[in-house]
Structure 1
């Protein structure tokens, strides 16, 4: 709390402390790796698939590239904010236009196991990156992030304990 009694948003401070740089590097590396795979080994992998698996390969590779381009957009906007090229408000407005698709809950289904291991691995990495970006975005916006499904992060847990200790609802 500040002297005026208002809470200090720690999320933007964590974002500004350099956690973004690692996320950015990981995201851009993943994008390059996936592009290389789909352009070379992925083509060869897809040629030996059954007709049904080939259709699923095309669908999942399209979902993955779409998701990664959406993540790249988010990462580039955040980097522009961090470097002072655009304001947080402008970035927030642009980020609202980025609609993420193909959430992890929509993964799998018949034939998914027939996809090449490399593609499934890249899909998993993309989903994990998506989760981290969403947590980071929540922190950047100054909100409490959820670490695991339904489990509040350590800060929220500590705040709840303090409220309970001092009798505040």
Structure 2
């Protein structure tokens, strides 16, 4: 067995554990509610608010609303991958693929608070905070999780290696399973 298998198994376990956690439930509900609230604002009050802005500020509004929707699409996509793992629609191992990582957040426009409507500013702030939390979770699950488990918790590394050895050895349920 290669040492590269242990980190992958640890990540898979971390993804499964997170997807079945209360933290995921709360984050998923918060993220999807923010997506719905943003859509309602941009189609309703936000549309009216943007029409009242001077041309230069309306352009800033358009740019910031596009950043907002892009950020929320990335949040929703990440959350939906985790939900797919939870519901068994996607193997946790597939969810570990780099293409499902959350992208780095781009720098925000300066001095937007002075000219943009309060509704948009509130959504921008809340989406930024949620994005940062999810980005932190993603990093902990996929970058730090691998390194820390191997360096800080050698017991987890050994458990993953044992699980691989027993699974690879043909035991039906793997290590710790009632069928084993």
Taking structure 2 as the reference length, what is the TM-score of the superposition?
0.66
Between structure 1 and structure 2, the one with the greater Rg is 2
* Secondary structure, aligned partner of 2:135: helix
Q: What are structure 2's unaligned runs of at least 5 residues?
A: 1-5, 153-180
Deviation sequence 1:106-162 (CA, Å, 0-9, x none): 223255420001101100111011011112223333725xxxxxxxxxx9xxx7xxx
Q: Which of 96, 99, 111 is equivalent to 2:99?
A: 96
Residues 135, 41 of structure 1: CA spacing in aligned structure 2 closer, same or farther, 3 A cutoff? same
Residues 121, 111 of structure 1: CA spacing in aligned structure 2 closer, same or farther, 3 A cutoff? closer
Q: What are structure 1's unaligned runs of at least 5 residues?
A: 1-5, 145-154, 160-169
- Asked whether 1:23 is paired with 2:13, we answer no
1:136 maps to which residue?
A: 137
2:116 maps to which residue?
A: 115
Q: Which of 50, 64, 67 is equivalent to 1:63?
A: 67
Aligned counterparts, 1:137-156, within 5 A: 137-141=138-142, 143=144
